[in-house]
Amino acid sequence: MSLQGDLSTLDLSGLLQNLESAQKQGLLTIRSESGEAKLFFEKGRLALFTSPGRAPLMDMLVASGTVAASDMELAKKRAKRGKKRVGEALVAKGVLSEGGLKEFATARLLDEACELIAIGGGAFEFTEGGIPRRAFDPEERALKLALASGPLLLESARREDQWKLIRDRVPSDAIHYVVQHPPRDPETPEAAELLANVVSMLDGTRSVAEVVAGFPHRLFEVYQLLADLADAHVLRMASPSDMNRLVQEIARKDSKRAWAILQRGLLTHPLSPNLLMTKAMIAQDIGELEEAAEALKVLVHQHLHCGETELALEGIERLKGLDPDDAFVWERSYELALQDKRKSDVLRDGKRLVELYRGPGLFKKAVVVLENLVEMDPGSWELVIDLAKNRADGGDRAAAVAELEKFGSVRLEKEEYALARRIYEEILNLDPDHAGAKATVSSIKSGELARRIEHRKKVRARVAAFFGVIATCLWLGYESSARRAYVGATHEIGRERWIEKRHYLEAIDAFETIRVDYRFSTTALYDVRRQLEQLRTKQELKEREQN
């Protein structure tokens, strides 16, 4: 008989109850996203379980610390010689009792079955028959386990309710706990032993996942215990400073172990500056340069966000040493230099950034940087040429040529012919058919351009001298006329004796006429002005006397 379907329509709990009530024997296969699980039922009871990557029972005994590795090796040798099971050899040697071995295997089977029920979903197929060859662990087969569906489903329901409480108190398997004070003594020796073993592992160096992994046959029980300890405030989450101290102590002896703890600490405290700095140091020591750079980048972001520019710059300089080709590093360094107006640093970082942009063809981004650099250092022909090349490579050849022409004409005006020639040659590299650039380069080579410019300079000097002579003559005539008018006014004032007669207003009118007619002459600006000041002072005194 074969039965198949989907657990979305037929609940796994109902399926298990049906198999038990019908006393079925056979293989139940469940396929889901997590893989393929196989369960074998004997008279309707769960007897065996397997899934991808499931460890053998003997390996779990060693992993849980139930059996020492040396005892297991010896038992395997004895089992091989005596042609019997390893479990039998362990029992015969007295390492553990047969009941203890069966209890261990049953607890493990219960955990796995409850977990499978909790997950739910997936396609299933049940085929009646005997145990498939090599499908299950022979050590477990020999124990003849049998889990009834009733107790299994009750335990699964209880655990489902408890898991909500557990996750409220232990929200993540990545958390590291430390013991704040001793817990209360349990009621039974078995519980006391488990508590002592769990507490001994809670020193901050292990995550919840690592602690639980130490008890593979009692997973749920250990989770429950951790939740109870957290609820009683016996435990507290390890702080970033706790984690940092532990990591640094362990790193002196075991860098790999320290690295693993550090990674988990950052899962819980991803923005801890101390943990990030420690990560950068350890990563650099063990050769994980990308990890070191990643930690430093987060730190730089934090420092910039908090306005801690000096600390950000220190981090950036370290990043440059870790990865000198990382554009992110040079972008931050360049932006800070621009912000602080540090010209030399802007030019250094900007040039390096342009190199990094050009590699992957980011010419437009390179142009933006070069425009800032040229604005900051307009006389640098290297920057101008670099800007033009990047413009052209970015598809704007016409603008590149125009920019070089403008810069080249300035160099020609300053008679910097060697530099001008190089600039116009660059124009020809961008536009080989540029007639103006060809003519300019040719005239520079032949010296014709220099001679033409020299000739124009001589002509301009002669014209300037000619107009200078004319202007001088006109000025002298204007000044001479002003002087004659001044002398004439002075004679008239003396002849009419206006000063002696205290007729100051007539004298003021005479000089005021000269000031208006020859206002730009030195005579009007100095001699006439002085006379007017004196006459107006005398007129004021006269008016006060009359009043």
* pLDDT at site 27: 92
**Which tokens hold the place of 184?**
């209360």
What pLDDT shows up at residue 144?
A: 92
Query: What contacts 242, CB < 8 A, 6 or more positions away?
Result: 176, 178, 204
- DSSP for 383-421, written as a single string: HHHHHHHHHHHTT-HHHHHHHHHHHHHHHHHTT-HHHHH
Using one digit for the tens of pLDDT, what is the confidence trace for 171-182?
888 888 989 888
- The secondary structure of residue 525, as a DSSP letter, is I
pLDDT (tens digit per residue) in 31-49 = 988 789 999 999 999 999 9
CATH architecture of the region 475-546: Up-down Bundle (1.20)
**Rounded average pLDDT over 385-410:** 83
| pLDDT on residue 162 | 87
Report the 3 state secondary structure along 127-140: EECCCCCCCCCHHH
Torsion of CA 66, 67, 69, 71, to 10 degrees: 170
Q: What is the average pLDDT value for the chain, to the nearest integer?
A: 85
All CATH 1.10.10 domain ranges of the chain, comma separated, are: 170-238
Residue 50: pLDDT band (50, 70, 90) is: very high
The three-state secondary structure class of 272 is coil
Dist CA 128 CA 29 (whole Å): 11
How many whole angstroms separate alpha carbon 327 and alpha carbon 295? 16
Lookup: tokens for 326: 């990382």
pTM of the model: 0.52
Mapped onto helix, strand or coil, the DSSP state of residue 47 is: strand
* Helix (H) or strand (E) run with residue 123 in it: strand 123-128
Distance CA 327, CA 358 (A): 11
| pLDDT tens figures, 76-134 | 988 888 778 999 999 988 888 988 899 889 988 998 888 888 877 788 899 999 999 88
- Which part of the chain has CATH 1.20.58? 475-546
Q: Which two tokens stand for residue 76?
A: 């395997």
| Check whether domain 170-238 has CATH 3.40.50, yes or no | no
Quote the CATH superfamily of domain 287-447: Tetratricopeptide repeat domain (1.25.40.10)
> CA-to-CA distance for 117 and 153, rounded, in angstroms?
8
- Considering the chain, tell me which residue range(s) the CATH 1.25.40.10 domain(s) occupy: 287-447
- Find the largest Cα–Cα distance for the chain: 158
Residue labelled with tokens 């050590």: 139
Q: Please tell me the predicted confidence (pLDDT) of residue 207.
A: 85
